[in-house]
Structure 1
Amino acid sequence: MSRELDVVVYGATGFVGELTAQYLADHAPAGTRIGLGGRSETKLAAVRRRLGDKARDWTLIVADSDSPASLDAMCARTQVVCTTVGPYLRYGENLVIAAATSGTDYVDLTGEVPFVRYSVDKADELATASGARIVHSCGFDSVPSDLGAYLLYRAITEHGAGEMTDTTMVVTSLRGGISGGTLDSIRVISEQAKDSETRRLLLNPQALSGGSGDTPRVGINSEPSDMSPVDAKKVDPSLRGTLAPFFMSSYNTRVVRRSNFLLDGAYGDGFRYQETMSVGGVRGLSAVLAGVVTVGTGAFLGAMSFAPTRKILDLVLPKPGTGPSEKTRETGNFVTQTFTTTTSGRRYRSQMRAHGDPGYKATAVMLGESALALALDRDRLPARAGVLTPAVAMGDVLIDRLQTAGFVVEAHELK
């Protein structure tokens, strides 16, 4: 593609946007053509100065989410648009259409089921026709989840070990903060959930499977519950205690299932997927803690959907545009392990591990490397277009990039 730029970071004046731009300034190969996009040229110029000498010649592009013409013009100038402007239900619809129409690859950080469903319904056919790769959820939501399952599939296929059956991701370590932007997305989803059709979509475990205008109608019990504690031994004999539900399970599981749909069910006819988090291996204590997490998560989401309690929480929760301190970002970490048993009875585990706050420092790496993969490794990517997932759009290329960036990304058979 003969475009002026390789990557535009849209939303560069925001908290995560500037972190992503800084990662690209520090790690993008020499000669990578990068632009910064946002509503204010003055603020963009201030960000560019803070990024240092490597960014001094980066292009500044003024574009507004409420101005489709400005988004069209921005997309026409770049191979990839990398957007951190959320909540995406509020600010993302025009951009995803602009990218799909212009044949521009797109990556974001959304964790919003209705937005991705909108993207599939409105942008998938446009992107397929133009050759654009629209890749949602390229941060902590949902790269560890999506690549974790893909790694298992790849290893099992290489070994001729059958197909995947019950598969569970376990978050074994998680240390970091939460930003106002993430909480703002929760607010938007809570408001949307008051609509009965949106509520049905959120409860549908296959909400993101299917093509344009084709949301599969399946029972809520067709997949494991997103909000129930799990006996760890049922996940794998090596585990102990009770596992709590992971608070982003209701989104990440839909992304993984979309990958399986896009790969024509390659993970297996009996593939069922859930996500959990470790709260310790002591049986009685972990059961109590898992119960507390379950009740607490439900109570928090309920409070965010009820206007009077949300107003009280808003007084103490981080505001949009804010995030954890540099110390928190530097000292954070995450470890995810995904377990499966194959149709031949063999057990496998994949793992992803990285230093840095998962939602910020590590997410900046995942998003930045996703953008670079689409821009610079086009000849190595799968020949696909449309509304995709990280695993389906980038797969082995993204794995290689994350490993080079210092992530541990691996899969092996358990004995």
Structure 2
Amino acid sequence: MKWEVIEEGEKALLYHYNGKVSLKQGPKRLWLVASKLKRLEKFTAHHNEYLAIELLDGYIEHKIGPCSEVFNPLVHLKIRVEKCYCLDTNQAIVTYTKTGKENKSEVNIIKGPGIFMIQPNEWVHKFSWHGEEENSKVKFVANKNKFEVLNCAPDQLYYNVDEVRTSDDALIRIKLMIFYELKDIAKMLNETKDPIADILNCSKADVIAFTARKTYLNFLETCHLLNELTEFPKLVDRSEKIGYEITKVVFRGYFASPKLQALHDSSIKTRTDLKLKFESEIQQQKQLDQNLKNDISRLTTEQELEFQKLLNHLEMNRLKVIDENRINLEEKKSKIEMDTKLKLKDLENLAKKNEQKLEHLEKLNQFNIDLTDYLVTSLSSADKHVKIVKRQDNLSGKNNENSTNIHFHE
């Protein structure tokens, strides 16, 4: 016999001596007589958790947190605290929901962001894909990567295609980096169980097809084409069918066997030496060509200078002749103008003299002076003298007063 105390928020089962069991809830103080008290365990779920409660009658109940539940063995078979699925923006899960009595199920694709709780009639799809080996990023093992939350963000993988044989039987290893992105989850679920395996196999098939039709040297010359998606038709086609998109393929280089690499290095050295000699010879020829061009350019410049000097000399002579002709012309023009002015002045003087003389003669005429006699006497002696005498009247023998006497002097 003893006292037992049940704290507030606690529950306990009280087993009596007669086999009866009763549920006690605190706060409470009990006096135990021929009985046994069993405290019940309390399960608590936080905001990102939920309680999976299995009842004795077979039903299962899920309660989203935050919540709590006391495990009662009279009612409950098991209580578990499970984590909810906390999905980011580029994450998703695939669930299957049991519907009806025919045991059929529906596929649900749930994308983040958000917190998701699985219902009792649901289960989550578990993916099992090829994954990277430990301590190696370029080797993949089947069923290595097991997960439930899909990553829908763009991602990439490193992959080495080993033992690729060229047309001249050279074995090489080709290194790739493949960028991909999940676009259609439903198509991926319907078309493939392991999309990574499909991507690896198709990329390997495209690389083998690219290399098989080329020799080793041709491969070295055209290996940069492996950076183009056009050289990976199978990979691109298969990715579209399984809901993926190949955004880019990067050729990271190649690896050959030591012997083949040694032969290649030797051939590279030989080609490099020949190339250097060839480039040196080309450089010398270019230098000679440049010197010749410089000489030709110098001679051409000198000829142009001489020709320009000659043109300048001719132009100076032409300008000199033009100036001389202009000066002579101006002198002649000035002389003509001067002579013209002198002649005009002489004519003006002569005209003034004639006017004065005419005025003088008019004045003499006013005084009834015989102008003819005056003019005759004023002239110098003449070489020839012509005289016209007045006609006498035959009857009277007198001169006619109206007749005129005219003298001509030459």
Shorter-normalised TM-score: what interval? under 0.3
Higher helix share: 1
The structure where strand makes up a greater share of residues is 2
Answer 1 or 2: higher relative contact order, Cα 8 Å, separation at least 6. Answer: 1
Q: Which has the larger radius of gyration?
A: 2
Normalising by structure 1, we get a TM-score of: 0.16
